[in-house]
Amino acid sequence: MREPRYDVIAIGNAIVDVMAPCTDELIEELGMQRGGMTLIDDDQARSLYDAMGPAREISGGSAANTLAGLAALGAQCAFVGQVADDQLGAVFAHDIRAAGIDFDVAAGAQEPATGRCLIFVTPDGQRTMNTFLGASQLLPAAALNEDAVSAAQVLYLEGYLWDPEEPRAAMRHAIETARAANRKVALSLSDAFVISRYGPDFRRLIEDGLIDILFANEVELAALTGVEDFDAAIADLAPLLPVLVVTRGENGAVAISQGERAAVPAESVDKVVDTTGAGDLFAAGFLYGYTRGEPLERSLRRGAIAAAEIISHFGARPEADLTQLMAEKLG
- Centre a 10 Å sphere on the Cβ of residue 49 and count the other Cβ atoms it contains: 15
CATH number of the domain residue 275 falls in: 3.40.1190.20
Q: Is residue 322 part of a domain?
A: yes
For residue 47, the model assigns a pLDDT of: 94
pTM of structure: 0.91
User: Tens digits of per-residue pLDDT, 211-262?
Assistant: 999 999 999 999 999 999 999 999 999 999 999 999 999 999 999 999 999 9
| Cα(199)–Cα(217) distance, integer angstroms | 15
What's the pLDDT tens digit per position in 83-105?
999 999 999 999 999 999 999 99
Whether residue 326 lies inside any domain: the answer is yes
**Domain containing 276: what range?**
6-14+61-112+136-330
Per the structure, the count of domains in the chain is 1
User: Is 50 part of any domain?
Assistant: no
Q: Which residues of the chain have pLDDT under 50?
A: none
Could you tell me if 245 and 213 are in contact, meaning their C-beta atoms sit under 8 angstroms apart? yes
For residue 1, the model assigns a pLDDT of 61
Residue 122 lies in a domain: no
Distance CA 144, CA 93 (A): 17
Q: Please report whether residue 40 resides in a domain.
A: no
Letter string b/e over residues 76-100, b meaning 16 or more CB atoms within 10 A of that residue's CB:
bbbbbbbbbebebbebbbebbeebe
Q: Per the domain annotation, does 19 fall within a domain?
A: no
Alpha helix positions (H), the chain: 24-29, 42-51, 62-72, 87-98, 146-150, 165-180, 192-207, 218-225, 230-237, 278-291, 296-310, 322-330
Do the domain assignments include residue 47? no
Asked whether residue 128 is assigned to any structural domain, the reply reads no
Angle between helices 62-72 and 322-330 (to 10 degrees): 70
Burial class (CB in 10 A: 0-12, 13-18, 19+), 260: exposed
